[in-house]
Amino acid sequence: MQSSAIKLNRAASTLTLLGVTLPLVSIAISQIFLACAILAFGAEWFTTRRRLWFPPIAAPLLLFMVFTAISLVLSPEPFLGRAAISKFWLFAIILLVVNTFTREHVTLSYHVLFGLSVVASLLVIGQFMIIGQVSVETRLTGFMGHWMTLSGELMLTFVAGVGYLVFGRPRRFWFWLAGLALVAVALSMTLTRSVWLATLAGILVLFLLRHCHWKTFAAAGLATGLLAVAAPDVIQRRIYSVWDANDPSNYARLAIWKAGGRMVEAHPWFGVGPQRISRVFYDYHPTQSDRNRSGFYPVHMHNNLLQFAAERGIPCALIWLWLVLKLTGDHWVLFRQAAKDETRAVSAVGFTAVVVLFVAGLFEFNFGDSEVLMVFLFLVSAPYALSNPAPNGTLD
């Protein structure tokens, strides 16, 4: 019995590792491994009935699910909202990581995640060499089906790599530095402004955690300015387009946000219903000619908080914000309490992952992107795994 339980525990941790790292290559394969990890973990628990531990985010996470379910039940078209409910199973990543991962599992996962991000970056660079150009019309996607998914994953893995380099002090320093350079190049090639902004914010946060001083701000500002000046024309044009009111993306986001505000005003408690934004959008957007406007895609609100408020109601949006703030606060405390460099690195990355997802999520609904969400859930669960009061990998 004990031997089989140990084998099931090892299987669950290995399958979980594959499930949280392979989204960079294939969402289908990663979710197959994740499903198998859940089965192995369930079998192990059924065998041992050991006490499970869940980090102190259960209340906001559970309430977020409850209010999403209520919104779905009250929706005029509940069948459309099944995708919102079907993503709930991904939160099993939290339970799996905190109950099966040891420090060695976390470290190995970081290495695998970083290695796969380098592979994905090489593919992006290879796509550029084949296409011969980078433009808003010909966006590079790597292994992913959309450039927003690619850029969101690279954003998270890049800040994780920087955090591990700054705090974890890996042995192969120059290998990590070269890998980060490749990921940075690929990230720049996605031409995703919100991710650029969030990544810069994440790097600044990491260096402030390392050395909180005005010189850090000065150095970050100088480095950002030099990068902007030295950047190729296509990237400079993308940067300057932030202030262009006629830019298709800028026009679309402002118009979509205004329509979202009207949705919230009309349905403040439970929203218009999960997955119904595109269905009812033009009921709240008077400019019908935008249906044929280039770059105008009102499939969601391009903002996490507004998405949840418009789709599921203000209470659900505030609960999601509570979850984000709880994650941020917990990882800050864990970082301050950490004694070892590696533990500080994992806590710093968890803290920064929340920051970058939130900043990028001001302009994109990245919490609804399964590939990005799976990587994010691992990064914010890893600090809890290292603080689990019951040592993982051991069975009573």
Mean pLDDT computed over 206-231: 79
Name which of 105-119, 160-174, 351-365 the model is least confident about: 160-174
pLDDT-derived band at 164 (thresholds 50, 70, 90) equals very high
Q: How far is Cα 85 from Cα 164, in angstroms, rounded to an integer?
A: 34
**What digits encode the pLDDT tens for the residues 264-320?**
999 999 999 999 999 999 999 989 888 888 778 899 999 999 999 999 999 999 999
pLDDT at site 395: 44
**What digits encode the pLDDT tens for the residues 33-72?**
999 999 999 999 998 888 899 999 999 999 999 999 999 9
pTM of the full structure = 0.95
The secondary structure of the chain, three-state, reads: CHHHHHHHHHHHHHHHHHHHHHHHCCHHHHHHHHHHHHHHHHHHHHHHCCCCCCCCCHHHHHHHHHHHHHHHHHCCCHHHHHHHHHHHHHHHHHHHHHHHCCHHHHHHHHHHHHHHHHHHHHHHHHHHHHHCCCCCCCCCCCCCCCHHHHHHHHHHHHHHHHHHHHHHCCCCHHHHHHHHHHHHHHHHHCCCHHHHHHHHHHHHHHHHHHCCCHHHHHHHHHHHHHHHHHCCHHHHHHHHHHHCCCCHHHHHHHHHHHHHHHHHHHCCCCCCCCCCHHHHHHHHCCCHHHHHCCCCCCCCCCCHHHHHHHHHCHHHHHHHHHHHHHHHHHHHHHHHHCCCHHHHHHHHHHHHHHHHHHHHCCCCCHHHCHHHHHHHHHHHHHHHHHCCCCCCCCCC
pLDDT-derived band at 245 (thresholds 50, 70, 90) equals confident
**What digits encode the pLDDT tens for the residues 308-361?**
999 999 999 999 999 999 999 999 999 999 877 788 999 999 999 999 999 999
Where is pLDDT greater, at 86 or 218?
A: 86
Number of Cβ atoms within 10 Å of the Cβ of 145: 11
pLDDT-derived band at 1 (thresholds 50, 70, 90) equals low
